[in-house]
């Protein structure tokens, strides 16, 4: 049987920790300028050049956020939990592959778009509501849902690409007609 290639750790975190990261990222202190090599970002995590493009539809994003509200286990996302500063002292930045998001781009991007009012999700009464329309109590409830984070620690690009492939290509995507629920 195969050996543990990734030596990954799993942390049972809550969504508020992702929201805190996004806030630090957008405040400028740890913004995009610190990752000049990144292809893009999701919830403040840099994306490596080999990440696929965004492919989720609006409907998929809404279903994902609805799943969180419904208390469904939404799996985990994976990051490279290692960083190093490089560059001149007056303009340091993170070394390539620092903190890269290896799995979860679609889910984290949907979450980011939701908290920036990018789309509405129907409430219990079926009324579509964007994040800014929610009460403080509702936001706190959403922020307290669990979203596990898997981490590995490596500078080896081949291993990081392998981790991406293992997480992204492990199953066969379901087709719409294979859904168990009636839409």
Domains of the chain, by residue range, sit at: 15-154
Q: What distances in angstroms separate CA 115 from CA 16, 43, 62, 76, 153, one per listed residue?
A: 11, 10, 12, 19, 29
Nearest to 41 by CA among 91, 137, 92, 116: 116
Nearest to 58 by CA among 136, 118, 128: 118
**Residue 168 has what pLDDT?**
81
Q: What is the pLDDT along the chain (183 residues), one digit of tens a residue?
A: 988 888 999 999 999 999 999 999 999 777 899 999 999 999 999 999 999 999 999 999 999 999 999 999 999 999 999 998 898 877 889 999 999 999 999 999 999 999 999 999 999 999 999 999 999 999 999 999 999 999 999 999 999 999 998 888 766 666 777 666 665
DSSP line for 110-156: HHHHHHTTSS-EE-TTS-EE-GGGS-HHHHHHHHTSB-EEEEE----
| DSSP symbol at 95 | P
Three-state secondary structure call for residue 181: coil
Phi-psi region of 58 (alpha: psi -120 to 50; beta: other; left: phi over 0): alpha
**Residue 21 has what pLDDT?**
95
Within 10 angstroms of residue 19's Cβ, the number of other Cβ atoms is 18
């Amino acid at each position: 049987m195969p050996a543990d290639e990734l030596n990954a750790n799993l942390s049972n975190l809550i969504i508020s920790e992702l929201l805190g990261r996004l806030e630090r990222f957008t405040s400028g202190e740890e913004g995009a300028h610190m990752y000049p090599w990144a292809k893009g970002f999701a919830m403040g995590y840099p994306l490596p050049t080999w990440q696929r493009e965004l492919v989720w539809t609006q409907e998929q994003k809404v279903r994902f956020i609805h799943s969180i509200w419904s208390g469904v286990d939404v799996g985990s996302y994976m990051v490279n939990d290692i960083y190093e500063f490089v560059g001149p002292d007056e303009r340091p930045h993170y070394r390539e592959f620092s903190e890269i998001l290896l799995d979860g781009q679609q889910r984290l991007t949907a979450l980011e778009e939701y908290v920036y009012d990018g789309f509405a999700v129907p409430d219990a009464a079926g009324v579509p509501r964007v994040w800014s329309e929610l009460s403080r109590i509702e936001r706190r409830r959403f922020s307290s849902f669990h979203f596990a984070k898997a981490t590995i620690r490596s500078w080896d690009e081949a291993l990081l690409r392998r981790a991406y492939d293992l997480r992204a290509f492990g199953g066969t995507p379901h087709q719409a007609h294979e859904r168990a629920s009636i839409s």
